[in-house]
Homo-oligomer: A and B are copies of this chain.
Amino acid sequence: MTTQTISTVNGVNVEQLVGTVNAIKENPDLARFKFRASNEWLSGGHSRTTIDGFYGAGDEDSSRTEPFILEGDEPPVLLGQNNGPNAVEAVLHGLASCLAVGFVYNAAAQGIKVDDLEFELEGDIDLHGFLGLSGDVRPGFRKINLTYRLKSDAPRETVEE
């Protein structure tokens, strides 16, 4: 009789994580992914993105039974109708979820248990760039402030590293 222990830290299957890293070391092509998004413009600032399959780990992924739908729009002050967050807010979400995954997976790999983790992001933007009123102002964020709160039993210096 074999007893199998699934070692999960922070909701991350650490054996699978180590297995994935080792598989990629043996076959670097497994690390090649292609992610996709289709966007349909609806009216004014409102558009809708559909996200479904992707290529990765050597094959087309078929794990998603239905696509993810994301709405994008501007607020009224930017001529939209608030049907969704706008593009730069979506980018803040992307950055935040990237940080969350990166932090938690790294912690799991090192056996650090994370109890709570939150990120607050605020990005400064100057519309002179987007509106084409100045060639000197970049259209995107000039600065993003990030605050995070973490609850963990691990020593502060281990976490900061």
Chain A residues at the B interface, C-beta cutoff of 8 Å: 10-13, 16-17, 20-21, 24-25, 28, 31-47, 49, 51, 54, 56-57, 61, 63-64, 68, 70, 72, 74-80, 82, 84-105, 114, 116-128, 130-131, 133
Contact = CB atoms under 8 A, between A and B. Distances in A.
A40 B115 CA distance: 11
B49 A118 contact: no
A38 B145 CA distance: 12
Given A77-B56, A128-B31, A39 B133 contact: no
Specify how many copies of this chain sit in the oligomer.
Answer: 2
Contact of A96 (B47, B102, B122, B125): B47
A21 to B, nearest CB: 6
> Which of A11, A24, A94 has the most chain B CB within a 10 Å cutoff?
A94
Contact of A131 (B24, B42, B43, B121): B24
Contacts of A97: 39, 47, 49, 72, 84, 86-87, 90
11 contacts: A34-B122, A34-B123, A35-B92, A39-B120, A44-B104, A47-B96, A51-B89, A70-B90, A74-B101, A86-B97, A91-B94
